[in-house]
Amino acid sequence: MSSPAHTLDAHAAQTTAAKLHVLNLGPIKERLGEKWPKLSDLVHKLFEAALRDAQGTRDHFVQVDELSYVVTFNGLCFEEATIACTAVAQKVCEKLFGGTDTGIVVRALVGQLADDVLGQQFQDGKHIAAHLELNAREIVVKSDPTRVPPRVTHVTPGADDIDWVPVDTIKKARASVLPLGLEIGLFPIWELGRGKSSCLYASPYSKGGTPKMGCTRQLLSTLPAKVVDAEITVLMTAHAYAHRLRQAGKVCALGAAVSFETAIGFHTRIRYITALKSLKIPHECPVLLKIEDVPDGTPLGKVAELISMLTVPNVRFTVQFRTPQAAPAKVDIRLGAVGMGFGLSHNYDAPLAAIFMKKLVHGFAEQKGFVFVEGLDTPELVAAAQASGVRFGTGQAVSKRWFAGDDALPNFPLNLN
């Protein structure tokens, strides 16, 4: 199969396919200990029996990793295949866990794949699974003690809902992070050479502190389990603000960030991708999604893989490294990012920062993108960034301007002076 972003020939014969897998098994694994392999074998048998009941004679299924399967449904439309997947998930949950609400869920991705793709790659399965992660529609079925029809997850209301008010979403998002000690603001990303901005970046900052852009994972270092929830909340804020701007006839890019650790983790990535795919991002106000806090030594191929998995319409990607030292000296692969940069810690040495800025500007030049630096908190750092060819920057020495999200909409482009 070609790359996950490959567009299938609209005229090619297609078959409905799905990926099913069990989530939230960690607590059960820990509780069962040495007995876990027996339960794992039982789940496999239940899945195989349920799939045989749901599939036709020309259909196939293959296990791609632990408790994860790729299956086909020849002759079924999307809606029928969705019902079949729901029935399979419901049957497995009920037979395995009965009337106990364990928190176990079965996730299914349903989509159309070209028959020649299925024919060439089905024995591997992982290529099909990767394609479905990017292009399929998702359902999540939970174990239900009442044994009523399965609960199917639908993500937050959005642009398709007639009664949706974007500013209300922003207010709720801001209120939801207050118990975590956070606020959410929208911060201009400044083009240093022109002193203008047509991009607002939704970012958390410490409640009661100076409003400035911050990394969610670093701000919630003592609450790691809350990080992905906060990152999704910030994403929803950016999305809602984009629709505020679109409704007002204004054009501006919106930024949000997901940490490398969230993107690299299987379950956290699923949660974030699910939220991302639920959004209807307007083309007039695209989203710049930053993969932030990338640690030193991370292979660029892994970053490119994450970008491929996160790709949705009207989203562009930037990559921010955890430290200036972590930024690569050369980017020699097709990364899929339009920008690359890093943040500077408080009172960072300007001459040293200039060395890393120049290195990154040179190393990223062949990608035809831009370099950005955050944390330009002194005039010396701003001057170093401009002299090094850094295109975009933020920091207290650049501008302290920011927006709450539910306040009056500004006109774009913003002017620095």
Question: Residues 111-159: pLDDT tens digits?
Answer: 887 766 565 555 567 777 777 777 777 777 765 444 443 333 333 444 4
Place of tokens 């505020």: 244
Tell me the C-alpha distance between 7 and 20, whole Å. 23
Maximum average pLDDT range among 58-62, 108-112, 134-138, 334-338: 334-338
- The larger pLDDT score, comparing residue 326 to residue 108, is at 326
Tell me the C-alpha distance between 78 and 60, whole Å. 17
Place of tokens 């408790």: 67
Mean pLDDT to the nearest integer, 149-177:
66
* Structure confidence at residue 155 (pLDDT): 38
Tell me the C-alpha distance between 45 and 39, whole Å. 10
Tell me the C-alpha distance between 288 and 207, whole Å. 25
Mean pLDDT to the nearest integer, 274-284:
86
* Structure confidence at residue 5 (pLDDT): 33
Mean pLDDT to the nearest integer, 244-271:
91
* Structure confidence at residue 147 (pLDDT): 41
Tell which residue, 18, 175, 193, has the closest CA to residue 106. 18
* Structure confidence at residue 199 (pLDDT): 95
pLDDT band at 27 (very low <50, low <70, confident <90, very high): low
Instruction: Set out the domains of the chain in order of their start, with CATH numbers.
Output: 14-142 (3.30.70.270), 166-415 (3.20.20.450)
Q: Give SS3 for 92.
A: helix
pLDDT band at 96 (very low <50, low <70, confident <90, very high): low
* Structure confidence at residue 160 (pLDDT): 46
Does position 31 have pLDDT exceeding 70, yes or no? no
pLDDT band at 6 (very low <50, low <70, confident <90, very high): very low
**Percent of the chain's residues with pLDDT above 70:** 84
Mean pLDDT to the nearest integer, 213-218:
94
Entry pTM: 0.65
* Structure confidence at residue 163 (pLDDT): 60
- For 288-307, write each residue's pLDDT tens digit: 999 999 999 999 999 999 99
Q: Which residues, other chains included, contact 128 with Cβ-Cβ below 8 Å and sequence gap of 6+?
A: 1, 17, 19, 70, 113, 117, 118, 121, 122
Task: Tell me how long the chain is.
Answer: 417
| Cα 80 to chain centroid, rounded | 28
Mean pLDDT to the nearest integer, 318-329:
94
The DSSP code sequence of 190-210 is EETTTTEE-EEEEEEEETTS-
Strand order in the sheet with 392-393: 182-188, 199-206, 253-259, 287-294, 315-321, 339-343, 370-374, 392-393, 190-191, 196-197, 414-415
- For 347-362, write each residue's pLDDT tens digit: 899 999 999 999 999 9
pLDDT band at 101 (very low <50, low <70, confident <90, very high): low
* Structure confidence at residue 148 (pLDDT): 40
Does position 100 have pLDDT exceeding 80, yes or no? no
Tell which residue, 229, 150, 248, has the closest CA to residue 184. 229
Any bridge partners for residue 65, and if so which? 68
Does position 208 have pLDDT exceeding 60, yes or no? yes
For strands 253-259 and 315-321, give the pairing. Answer: unpaired
Where in 24-160 does DSSP place strands (E)?
A: 61-65, 68-73, 105-114, 137-142
pLDDT band at 398 (very low <50, low <70, confident <90, very high): very high
Tell me the C-alpha distance between 151 and 142, whole Å. 6
Q: Give SS3 for 133.
A: helix
The DSSP code sequence of 13-53 is -EEEEEEEEEE--HHHHHHHGGGHHHHHHHHHHHHHHHHHH
